[in-house]
A and B are shown apart, each in its own frame.
Chain A
Amino acid sequence: MCGVALRYLYSMANLMKMGNIGIKKVNSDKSKKTKIIAYALPLCVILLACLVMFVPGFGEEKAEISKDENVSAKDVYAGVDSADGANSAPDSSFGGSGNDTPVTVNTEPGLVPESAAADKSYFDDAAFVGDSISLMLSYYNASAKALGNAQFFTAGSLSAANALWEVSDKSVHPSYNGTKMLVEDCIKNSGVKKVYIMLGMNDIGLYSLDDSIENYKELVKRIKEKSPSVIIIVESMTPIASTSNRLGDKFNNTRIREYNSKLLEMCREMGWYFVDVGSVMYDESGYLRKDFCSDLETMGMHFTNAGCEQWVSYLMTHTV
């Protein structure tokens, strides 16, 4: 490279001497300026080329190192199946365990890594869509205002499936300012920019995991049709307690983890974000932590104030 450059310089010098580069001495100032440019430009090119070749790291794009690089979605939720659906403590390296070193915010679709804690005003233009799990968060936030002015479009027993049904007096749909309407209409009317979605508790016990994913995709498609620019952030399902009266073959923490794995795959495929909220809710046995659970003696899946605090803490340190 340098040899070529030197030959070029020599040629330029000869040409200048012979006067064959077409610079005419019509005007001495103009001629001088042209000569300066003729000398300076190739010198700059040569200098740049040498920098690229010989200075380490100069001009190279910084590789975005994602925590989930080369890790498949299944690896995130690897576990040992057991009869009651529990497993050993899940891999928490992607969760907000509090021990991880904050990394650069990853704006690539897929799993959102930990970042510096955002101010609660970050959620002023956000909405949370969900079932009764998120309903508890909405009441927590109404009091604590930990998520700023975030809006909540939640309804007990809401699912990705019944969210697609028509609104009626007997239908399950969230409300916007007290008026029941479709999820996509709530979002459109609210004008929010970010939409967090947590659904699944009322899906996976009734439908196959794949059908639930298809319903999820259809719901988001309808949201995007009415609000094309909203950012979609899917939240993982949270675990259920060991005392839950809902534990069974089709509804257990193994199935929840499997569904979360599929949700992550879906986000990568569709270009959405995924926040692994559920990862910080497990106890050492793979169930919902008892201190986070408000209904240990019944459904075993809803949150206490402490559980909501943990939830908020995770959201604040996993922003897009």
Chain B
Amino acid sequence: MKKIICVLLALTALISLAACSDGTKSGKDVDLGALKDKMISELSIENANSIDADALMGLYGISADDIEQSACFTTMSGAFPDEVVMIKTKDADAFDIVYEKLSARVDEVKVQSQNYDAENYALAQKCEIVSSGNYVAMFLSPDYDEMVKLFNEAIGN
């Protein structure tokens, strides 16, 4: 009898541990849309054009199927538009794909602006993809430092 109870308890423990693992990275819940609005307001960003998740395939090769929520915008200023992309991916596999696509975009901006636009080249060189849990972001903007700070504060990084 005792043996049976022990086996049952062990099985219960195993099942509980399995349920806890759902393939996602850890991370608190953040309303990226609200964060975007806060960013635009606090940094006095003008003429921000919001971009929906379904437009990200054409721009970056990021599928909407990999996205749980997103908040993205560009600004029609300068030679290269400011590009702000904030995404919460659906799972860890999607995170890897999105991270790789955004990194590729930063690399391309470096290549395209190197002999063309010194200011944008400097921005691209400085830009690093920011992430925590399933949240990942790219801030190609002169307001890079402030945007990263706001993002990290929001996701608890």
A interface with B by C-beta (< 8 Å): 132, 135-136, 138-140, 142-144, 151-152, 155-158, 169-172, 175, 177-180, 202, 294-295, 298-299, 301-305, 308
Contact assessment for B76 and A294 in the assembled complex, using a CB-CB cutoff below 8 Å = yes
Can you list 26 contacts pairing A with B, beta carbon distance less than 8 Å? A132-B112, A135-B80, A136-B81, A139-B51, A139-B83, A142-B55, A142-B58, A142-B74, A151-B58, A155-B108, A156-B113, A157-B112, A157-B113, A169-B107, A169-B111, A171-B111, A178-B61, A178-B101, A178-B104, A202-B116, A294-B79, A295-B79, A298-B79, A302-B78, A304-B76, A304-B77
Residue positions of B touching A, CB distance < 8 A: 47, 49-51, 55, 57-62, 73-74, 76-81, 83, 101, 104-105, 107-109, 111-113, 115-117, 119-120
The minimal Cβ–Cβ distance linking A238 to chain B, given in whole angstroms, is 14
Question: Are the C-beta atoms of B104 and A139 separated by less than 8 Å?
Answer: no
State the Cβ distance, A3 to closest chain B Cβ, in Å: 71
Question: For A298, what are the chain B residues with a Cβ–Cβ distance below 8 Å?
Answer: 78-79, 117, 119
4 A-B pairs with the lowest CB-CB distances in the bound complex, closest first: A178-B61, A143-B49, A156-B112, A142-B55
**Smallest beta-carbon distance B21→chain A, Å:** 30
Expressed in whole angstroms, the Cα–Cα distance for A122 and B51 within the complex equals 22
Q: Is the CB of A157 within 8 A of B61?
A: no
Q: Are B81 and A139 in contact (CB under 8 A)?
A: yes
Cross-chain contact B117 with A156 (CB below 8 angstroms): yes
Residue of B nearest to A303 (CB): B76
Q: A156 contacts B80, CB within 8 Å?
A: yes
How many angstroms between the C-alpha atoms of A4 and B76 in the bound complex?
76
**Interface pair A302/B47, CB less than 8 Å apart:** no
Across the interface, do A132 and B58 meet the contact criterion of CB distance under 8 Å?
A: no
Known A-B contacts A140-B49, A157-B116; the reply to A135 vs B81 at CB < 8 A is: yes
CB < 8 Å: which of A158, A171, A178 contacts B62?
A: A178
